[in-house]
Structure 1
């Protein structure tokens, strides 16, 4: 079947917010001034009223798009008969003389004329507050202003303002620019100053990725994933969002549409692990600092996800007036999963802390505040491990004893023991060791189904679950063990269709799942390599990476029949899994512990 080309977007951003730029140059999604702010452009969620910002040549032309190598600066090139120009899109982001980062809420669109005199028009139609408010537009002395009830956009340009407002075509006679600033008047209005900011932004991103240690195989794809993960971080606090969008559906026409513009403790911890894998430690330090701040503010009441400024209350509501992506309603903002019990988060967070302080010693010393956080996380896991929860998959009604959640509680205690031993807390280490053994025995007894010959999704079940493939990563077992090898083979038989791996096949809150979570196929590739089927793993790797979009980006899900990318975009989980699989298979990090798959394993 022919591949269905969708989500043909690039992401640009400044580690405070982001925008999606379509392959034809249209900015179809942008929130200002933060990731979780109401949208300014939302055409991706409503083709009619959502709002967009596009550069459009007249007549016939070809268009191509690519990132400037090793940066988050996006180039869209237009070529017509006798003319050519390129459009450079980016948020300025660079280190200033005082050492701080420039990250003002503004997007730059620089047009560089290559040859000829093309005729173009600019179409800019902001729609504030998730397209609920159309701003008034007017020309002032040196800019166009779009005025809302509380929001203002200022468009600075050296192109004719009246033609832009009238959406009329005009001759492009030289290099030109547009700077769209949110709620601020801008001093730098000369094109040379704009070009200088682009050059500084290019240098910043190249310097950042240049300090990473990347595998030589598929090096550029890993770099793109790392740069994307960096864009999804919120520098002001250290939070890391799960994706840049809301309500891109997992399945077209159905209701699995969620808002991912928040920080999940699990996803953020996985991001930290992936970037540590390629020796990028800055995100880990920032995230840990934020976790310490949240712990001081909220104590042990750690919830599944937070707003990027640490907000606990993230009420979920539906925007009924928006038609949704490809008419897939509802469009949701907020996320009710914040109120769920998901006990696995203790393990993921403590694993990240263990890597930072003990394994890689990114931070040299565990102080009293750090230990207080570790202690409270371990004790929380001990208190809650025997409780039902909503699982890594955030089932809304199906609260059960999920095997993966139990294993991550075991992980929390295990990492707590290792950290305690590192700093001489022997009494805690001894006490926790008994609990660790008890949890493991319970999982072996209840999470293993001898009839299925596999670890199963939840206690007493026969259903399989892709998250079980992560057990060796956390050191609970080894791919060399008979139980794990038979589990991998059983999961392959039940959940793999020859192209992609389902999360699970059992009915959930919304029916039988149809599409595949992309990260799960990467987990399966790691598992295949772990049980000795490296050739099969490499073959599947080449097939899955062929399904990125034209810029090397993944969403959350993929339609197993049409290969259409679906789900929120770009998705941190997918790019985390890509980085981990590439480093597992091909290496990149001399500091990484050596095991049969390059993952941390245990024979415990």
Structure 2
């Protein structure tokens, strides 16, 4: 059986994200927000999902790549009669002292050679495919009515051919610009070329201002660019993935909507971006999380919408077949109701650099003592509870080792923040709670097997406990850390370098695919304990699990390397970046630092 891959690339501008297939079709794009209905969703249903493609009349091959160090995607299509290139991007650049990031997908259709015979199809839908939009032609545009907003395709291609689904010979460069809300009134060619130049410059400057080690630098750059556009800049929220209901493995029913902001996931993303010298994302997230902190009582939800909406009731879109027929298609995520007690610590750790990194002026942070006090109250309120844990078990609760680890780490962060703001009372409270969390962690230790199990009283092992080493709860140089790592790799690691989250049955049976971030955690733990050659070898094993654009999925089938789960998965790219960072530091490879001329 051939390896299953996601044959799409991702473009975005921190306002929206779009998946472009190698056949040029926009397989997935939600407007006006990451968590809105799709306007193109053939990824989940090729009949109900609409279409926006620039395909030839006959057989073809294609080659897809990013413009170097950008989020601008090129798809070159070769037919018997000629070759053309489609360049897709979402404009993003500085303008009028702010970022210009419109709800606008720009498609440049460029003749390379010959006389390719092509057709531009633009048929957006709404309400998750239930609403078919009506096309109303204008002089140089097509309006699409039915979604409650003005959606317009502005183009210098022949309007009649688009409206009437006709092929035509591509003789010169054409432009197709789709907008939502404010229509484009300027000329298509001059606007598209200016936006393309400005957007190219923006992304290349962003990369130049990154501090990235030599180790697998090309993969780290692509991961960083992918992570950046998962932040919804208007609010500062960072989503787990741009897709919903891509199954963890075929027929599993493990189809989740990841278009929301998990406090846990955001911690990992922020950490990865800090490692390469980007802090703007943290400052934007600070406003998001502090608003949640002041609005909530003693509990956070594990996840919120990108605008902090709390009700994410899970519904089934039963009009959609699902990815490759794998239903159900879920809108919303029932995990918002879960008790997940690691998140309080991760919220604190996410904010720690704002107080301990001298590049930030911590005195600008208002109500710091109150923020930390409330976070510690939440940890104190939940520290002795069972919860659903990092893997969000729906019908069982445990005293999870991972949850208590991040309560411990969060208290440690609170202790450091309290020192910075000179609050002795907060320091003492943080120390007391650290010890309580440590007591629960130690209750998970199995002295016979020399390993920490996934929960108090449980015999099962869990890859999330690798974090005991990375978070320095276990001294990486200690024998205890090395023994713990050895026990986990013996039970959960596959010959191909992949790693299972766990192997015991959960609410949906026994997992059949590996979770990619766990493999990167394993690599990171290897580096921490000094097994550098092993870390480098295992890291290199994971690179072929990417798609043609170096983008990674959530899950991988160990038998054939197939990609499954939501895609691209922020977790997976975070894992890659953090593992590469750890290895670079251990190898003492020099970092490529930002040019002073760019500062």
Same fold (TM over 0.5): yes
Superposed structure 1 runs of 4+ greater than 6 Å apart: 588-592
For 1:534 and 1:587, how far apart are their aligned partners in 2? 11
Q: Which among 472, 475, 478 is matched to residue 475 of structure 2? A: 478
For 1:569 and 1:168, how far apart are their aligned partners in 2? 33
Task: Report SS of the residue matched to 1:122.
Answer: strand
Task: Report SS of the residue matched to 2:204.
Answer: helix
How far 1:484 moved relative to its partner? 1.9
How far 1:584 moved relative to its partner? 0.5
For 1:579 and 1:529, how far apart are their aligned partners in 2? 13
Q: Is the 8 Å Cα contact of residues 150 and 183 (structure 2) preserved in structure 1?
A: no
Q: Summarize the Cα distance change of 1:362–1:273 in structure 2 as closer, same or farther, 3 Å threshold.
A: farther
Q: Which among 544, 548, 553 is matched to residue 551 of structure 2? A: 553
Paired position in structure 1 for 2:487:
490
Q: How big is each residue's C-alpha offset from its partner over 1:103-147, in whole Å with a ceiling of 9 and x where there is no partner?
A: 111101011222332211112222211111111112123211221
Bigger mean CA deviation after superposition, 201-210 or 259-268: 201-210
Q: State whether structure 2 residue 438 is matched by structure 1 residue 455.
A: no
Task: Report SS of the residue matched to 1:472.
Answer: helix
Paired position in structure 2 for 1:88:
87
Write out aligned runs for 1:34-49 (5 A): 34-49=33-48
Bigger mean CA deviation after superposition, 366-375 or 162-171: 366-375
Bigger mean CA deviation after superposition, 496-505 or 122-131: 122-131
Bigger mean CA deviation after superposition, 190-199 or 243-252: 190-199
For 1:360 and 1:342, how far apart are their aligned partners in 2? 32
Task: Report SS of the residue matched to 2:470.
Answer: coil
For 1:188 and 1:201, how far apart are their aligned partners in 2? 18
Paired position in structure 2 for 1:568:
566
Q: How big is each residue's C-alpha offset from its partner over 1:231-277, in whole Å with a ceiling of 9 and x where there is no partner?
A: 10001010000000000010111210010000000101111111001
Task: Report SS of the residue matched to 1:452.
Answer: coil
Bigger mean CA deviation after superposition, 507-516 or 474-483: 474-483
Task: Report SS of the residue matched to 1:150.
Answer: coil
Task: Report SS of the residue matched to 1:477.
Answer: coil
Q: Is the 8 Å Cα contact of residues 141 and 155 (structure 2) preserved in structure 1?
A: yes
Paired position in structure 2 for 1:69:
68
Give the TM-score taking structure 2 as reference length. Answer: 0.95
Write out aligned runs for 1:109-508 (5 A): 109-148=107-146, 150-359=148-357, 361-365=359-363, 367-444=365-442, 446-499=443-496, 500-508=498-506
Q: How big is each residue's C-alpha offset from its partner over 1:357-395, in whole Å with a ceiling of 9 and x where there is no partner?
A: 214643433644233222211221122111011001111
**CA-based RMSD:** 2.0
Q: How big is each residue's C-alpha offset from its partner over 1:426-456, in whole Å with a ceiling of 9 and x where there is no partner?
A: 1221233233223313321x11012332000
How far 1:407 moved relative to its partner? 1.1
The answer for unaligned runs of 5 or more in structure 1 is 593-604
For 2:60 and 2:487, how far apart are their aligned partners in 1? 51
Q: Is the 8 Å Cα contact of residues 28 and 52 (structure 1) preserved in structure 2?
A: yes
Q: Is the 8 Å Cα contact of residues 41 and 50 (structure 1) preserved in structure 2?
A: yes
For 2:390 and 2:562, how far apart are their aligned partners in 1? 24
Task: Report SS of the residue matched to 1:131.
Answer: coil
The answer for unaligned runs of 5 or more in structure 2 is 591-599
Q: How big is each residue's C-alpha offset from its partner over 1:533-577, in whole Å with a ceiling of 9 and x where there is no partner?
A: 322221111110111000010111111112111111111100001
How far 1:77 moved relative to its partner? 1.0
Q: Is the 8 Å Cα contact of residues 277 and 589 (structure 1) preserved in structure 2?
A: no
Paired position in structure 1 for 2:51:
52
Q: Is the 8 Å Cα contact of residues 278 and 589 (structure 1) preserved in structure 2?
A: no
How far 1:503 moved relative to its partner? 0.3
Q: Summarize the Cα distance change of 1:91–1:589 in structure 2 as closer, same or farther, 3 Å threshold.
A: farther
**Aligned pair count?**
590
For 2:250 and 2:436, how far apart are their aligned partners in 1? 44
Q: Is the 8 Å Cα contact of residues 278 and 588 (structure 1) preserved in structure 2?
A: no
For 1:243 and 1:371, how far apart are their aligned partners in 2? 33
Task: Report SS of the residue matched to 2:311.
Answer: coil
For 2:147 and 2:221, how far apart are their aligned partners in 1? 41
Bigger mean CA deviation after superposition, 132-141 or 174-183: 132-141
Give the TM-score taking structure 1 as reference length. Answer: 0.94
Q: Is the 8 Å Cα contact of residues 357 and 366 (structure 1) preserved in structure 2?
A: no
How far 1:181 moved relative to its partner? 0.9
For 1:590 and 1:157, how far apart are their aligned partners in 2? 52
For 1:196 and 1:299, how far apart are their aligned partners in 2? 48
Q: Is the 8 Å Cα contact of residues 382 and 409 (structure 1) preserved in structure 2?
A: no
Q: Is the 8 Å Cα contact of residues 213 and 589 (structure 2) preserved in structure 1?
A: no
Paired position in structure 2 for 1:598:
none
For 1:465 and 1:400, how far apart are their aligned partners in 2? 13
How far 1:343 moved relative to its partner? 0.6
Q: How big is each residue's C-alpha offset from its partner over 1:75-104, in whole Å with a ceiling of 9 and x where there is no partner?
A: 0112345633211101111111x1111111
Task: Report SS of the residue matched to 1:401.
Answer: coil
For 1:442 and 1:341, how far apart are their aligned partners in 2? 17
